[in-house]
Structure 1
Amino acid sequence: MADQRDPSTEAFLDLLYARVPEVRFTQALVFVNVLVFIFMAWHSGAIWRIPGATLADFGGNYAVQTRHGEYWRLLTSLFLHGGILHITLNMLALYQAGALAERLFGLRRFILLYFLAGLVASVASVWWQPNGLSVGASGAIFGVFGGLLTSVLVTRHVLPEFLYRRLRRALLMFIGYSLAAGFLIPGVDNAAHVGGLVAGMVLGAALAFPPGRESVAVGRIVAGLAASLVLAGGLWLSVPAPVPPVHRAQHPAVDAMTAGLAQQEEALVQRYNLLMDALRHGRMTDNKAIELLEQELIPAWKQLENEVAAAGQGDWRTASLLRYLAKRRDALQVLVIALRTHEVRWLNLANALQAKADEFLLEYRMLVDGGTPASP
């Protein structure tokens, strides 16, 4: 690429690197995200897919708890990721966009852009799914890409023409492709992506300033910040108020069964994680995995469903728990199809069903706690 640059582009990039020789904040963000993921993976015993309950316990943006006053989840969720693929893709995008943004905006403006766009993204996620669970840095990353795009457009008159065209095309392609992929792949938090992108574009226009012109109108910065906060506040105020569960009949049999269920469920989840780990590392064939799923795991989840249904007749908690168990079983059945067909769409559907099962489990725990979230 270097041999294609014109002299003005080289001089501009030299000026950027002189302004910020090392992108230490971007590197720190990547380091902290990776460190948190390693700790969660060790804690949960899983690396390909971190259980939803673990993500909620570590500060995920579980909307029910966030709306009950745990507002810090709007920011802590930016440092949590649901699996190794999730964090790998996000950190690659963060490092590429963050390195340029930190040099283009400067350290303080970049910090403001990243966290405020991430905040709006998290609020948008709660607004879209008032009972959902969202994690990941992607909302903030979309904000960085959006900020870069509008900054490039606003400062076009002082950018080298070659650099302007290359940046504009690359940013538009990434944003367009990522948004399209998000709407096509099940389980992606598109509300957070769009919310972060919009906030980032507003902030990018407000904070943009080219090297050599370090001063920027304070009024423009204030207007950008105000617009982003108004967007976040408007989304937050339009979220429906949480409705506490209505308590009805409770049966001692369900209480006793629930205590045993937790141990059985944990053992099955651990067995599933071991199976998937062996499958991905070539220690198990697809046929062997299918055999174990069909003859061991799927029947075990079905047996749990039957036990809950038999013990919980008339108990108001039973329906919620059965939704979780059924969704877990559905996910495993779709996984069998994915292993037989080797089609990515079935694997994506299986992952989406498991994510939905985790949401049902969190909802059930909220119901059992009487609608008052327990602190992690």
Structure 2
Amino acid sequence: MATCAKCGTHFFQLCEDAGPLCPRCLATEVSLQPLRVTPILVGLIVVIYVAMVANGVSFSDPTTDALLAWGADFGPLALRGQSWRLLTSMFLHAGFLHLAFNAWALWVLGRLTERLLGSVAFTLLYLLSGIGGNLLSLLINPLQVSVGASGAIFGAAGALVTLQYVRKLPATALVLRRDLAGIGSFVLYNLFYGFTHAGIDNGAHVGGLLTGLSLAAFVPLPVAQGEPRPQRRTVATFGVAAVLLAFRGTFVWRARAPVAEFGAALKLLDDGQTEAAIQALQHVVTRWLAEARAHYSLGAALLEVRRFDQAIASLRTASRLDSLNTAFANELGIAYLRNDQLDSAIVLFKRTAGLAPRRSYGHANVGLAYLRAGRAVEAITPLRTAVDVDPNDANAQFLLGNAYLATQAFAPAVASFDAALPHAKDSARVYLRRGVAYRLMQRQADARADFEHAVSFGTRVAADSEVVADARRGLAELGPGRRD
């Protein structure tokens, strides 16, 4: 026990260099520090965002691949030797609004925290909180691509809460009291929003908050002039925190070992080694039974090599584990379609359309399955819905044209093919089917022109050899030199 030189209170002294004052008296001696680091951090995240946009990354909605290329956190990569992503992801943002909100929060909360803790302590707290948040994110949701400074910012918010309510610094009464309600609202609103909306990395928020709350309980505070500065305690506090984070990282690495294997399997898929990837994914799903995305990736790989029954089994598991995932339901529908289980395909595509009614592909796939089943009349309604949702969906327009053609509604068929052509990636097949419609309408010159276009465009792509053959048969049926 030590005796306070100012008030005479007996108190427990944590370190030899903590000084002769008890915590209450020491609090009255805390001096506000100059602002150095917060403006640099705000400027740094802005500069990095500008550099990303200048190099072609979307201003408002960056792709996952772009974020990963710049250093986003992603379990399969971070757990396979790219642990530096735990740090770099803190300085990246997924669009202007994301950047603007975090820059504002960092400016408000960072200034308060830095003035109370000092530049060095604040910098270390900021970085350790961000890393701590990313570690918890990896543990909770290792397959989420994560970027943003919010974990570190939550660490600053947590530190301010601890300084006010645990350490009860009078200095904070002057600086914090008017802002504390706003800090609490910031924390609670963002946690609530993260728990109720998809795509928000709440693991990073909670991890950063807990790290900041904990560190601020022990970090030494700058003292008034004349008092000894607790340098050894500063080093010891952050040294212990870094060691504890390292232990936490080791635990995460061990707990999420299948994620690293999953990442290796995905790399095999990217490299075109499908069979090797299938073997790796089969091993992953035996160790990670409840991960829907692992089962989905296995099913998609099996579908690629036409092992339909196995693909369906894996995709059914993925869809059962995540019944609201439109991609899983759609891929299972495709597997059923390719395996000629058309009724099951229709059911799955209808589920896809119901889960994403404002996306055209689900409705279009319902129509495709009906067409494959020879039910062209039933195909028209979902296909019309698809083109209403997205008039530029060339595939939906093409399928609708085929449905009209099958029901002998030739003029609407031609109109649908006309709408498909400006956006079609494979214009040869559109010309072919419109040529068929023209021929049935007895517009022989138009039919001939379209068949010739189909041959011309189709010969440029090896996959269109069947289209070219059909177009040449159409020309032969018209006869040489025949004109309207």
Structure 2-normalised TM-score? 0.47
Shift of 1:175: 1.4
Could you tell me which residue of structure 2 aligns to residue 49 of structure 1?
61
Tell me which of 98, 101, 126 is aligned to 2:138.
126
Cα distance change of structure 1 residues 223 and 335 upon mapping to structure 2, 3 Å threshold: farther
Is 2:93 the counterpart of 1:81?
yes
Greater RCO, CA 8 A, separation 6+? 1
Could you tell me which residue of structure 1 aligns to residue 190 of structure 2?
178
3-state SS of the aligned residue for 1:209?
coil
Is 2:203 the counterpart of 1:191?
yes
Shift of 1:161: 4.6
Cα distance change of structure 1 residues 309 and 205 upon mapping to structure 2, 3 Å threshold: closer
Conserved? CA contact 1:206–1:221, under 8 Å? no
3-state SS of the aligned residue for 1:61?
coil
Structure 1-normalised TM-score? 0.60
Tell me which of 289, 303, 313 is aligned to 2:306.
313
Could you tell me which residue of structure 2 aligns to residue 237 of structure 1?
251
Which piece of structure 1 moves more, 49-58 or 39-48?
39-48
Q: What are the within-5 Å matches in structure 2 for residues 330-345 of structure 1? A: 333=356
C-alpha RMSD of the superposition:
4.1
Tell me which of 236, 239, 260 is aligned to 1:222.
236
3-state SS of the aligned residue for 2:58?
coil
3-state SS of the aligned residue for 1:135?
coil
Q: What are the within-5 Å matches in structure 2 for residues 141-180 of structure 1? A: 141-159=153-171, 161=173, 163=175, 165-180=177-192
Shift of 1:245: 3.2
Conserved? CA contact 2:112–2:175, under 8 Å? no
Q: What are the within-5 Å matches in structure 2 for residues 336-355 of structure 1? A: none
Cα distance change of structure 1 residues 159 and 133 upon mapping to structure 2, 3 Å threshold: same
CA distance in 1, matches of 2:302, 2:138: 32
CA distance in 1, matches of 2:219, 2:265: 45
Conserved? CA contact 1:79–1:135, under 8 Å? yes
Q: Deviations over 1:97-134 (max 9, x none)?
A: 11111211111001101101111111111111222211
CA distance in 1, matches of 2:185, 2:266: 49
Cα distance change of structure 1 residues 210 and 72 upon mapping to structure 2, 3 Å threshold: same
Cα distance change of structure 1 residues 226 and 310 upon mapping to structure 2, 3 Å threshold: closer
Shift of 1:55: 0.5
Conserved? CA contact 2:166–2:217, under 8 Å? yes
Structure 1 counterpart of 2:45, one-letter code: N
Is 2:118 the counterpart of 1:117?
no
CA distance in 2, matches of 1:109, 1:233: 21
Cα distance change of structure 1 residues 176 and 229 upon mapping to structure 2, 3 Å threshold: farther
Q: Using the aligned pairs only, state the percent identity.
A: 29
CA distance in 1, matches of 2:84, 2:74: 11
Conserved? CA contact 1:50–1:82, under 8 Å? yes
Q: Deviations over 1:133-159 (max 9, x none)?
A: 111100011011111211223442533
CA distance in 1, matches of 2:214, 2:303: 55
CA distance in 2, matches of 1:176, 1:92: 17
Could you tell me which residue of structure 1 aligns to residue 44 of structure 2?
32
Shift of 1:166: 3.0
Shift of 1:324: 8.6
Cα distance change of structure 1 residues 225 and 334 upon mapping to structure 2, 3 Å threshold: farther
What 5-or-longer segments of structure 1 have no aligned partner?
1-11, 256-307, 338-376
CA distance in 1, matches of 2:266, 2:46: 41
Could you tell me which residue of structure 1 aligns to residue 372 of structure 2?
none
Conserved? CA contact 1:26–1:102, under 8 Å? yes
Shift of 1:317: 10
Which piece of structure 1 moves more, 221-230 or 177-186?
221-230
Could you tell me which residue of structure 2 aligns to residue 92 of structure 1?
104
Cα distance change of structure 1 residues 232 and 85 upon mapping to structure 2, 3 Å threshold: farther
Shift of 1:226: 2.2
CA distance in 2, matches of 1:108, 1:249: 45
Q: Higher Cα Rg: structure 1 or 2?
A: 2
Could you tell me which residue of structure 1 aligns to residue 344 of structure 2?
none
Shift of 1:236: 4.2
Is 2:82 the counterpart of 1:70?
yes
Shift of 1:330: 7.8
Could you tell me which residue of structure 1 aligns to residue 219 of structure 2?
207
Conserved? CA contact 1:150–1:201, under 8 Å? yes
Q: Deviations over 1:264-321 (max 9, x none)?
A: xxxxxxxxxxxxxxxxxxxxxxxxxxxxxxxxxxxxxxxxxxxx9997523999999x
What 5-or-longer segments of structure 2 have no aligned partner?
1-27, 276-300, 316-325, 332-351, 361-484
Conserved? CA contact 1:40–1:50, under 8 Å? no
Shift of 1:192: 0.5
Conserved? CA contact 2:128–2:242, under 8 Å? yes
Cα distance change of structure 1 residues 44 and 71 upon mapping to structure 2, 3 Å threshold: same
CA distance in 2, matches of 1:310, 1:230: 44
Structure 1 counterpart of 2:248, one-letter code: G
Could you tell me which residue of structure 2 aligns to residue 137 of structure 1?
149
CA distance in 2, matches of 1:87, 1:331: 33
Conserved? CA contact 2:75–2:144, under 8 Å? yes
CA distance in 1, matches of 2:80, 2:249: 16
Conserved? CA contact 1:78–1:135, under 8 Å? yes
Shift of 1:71: 1.1
Query: How many correspondences in the alignment?
Result: 267
Conserved? CA contact 1:155–1:210, under 8 Å? no
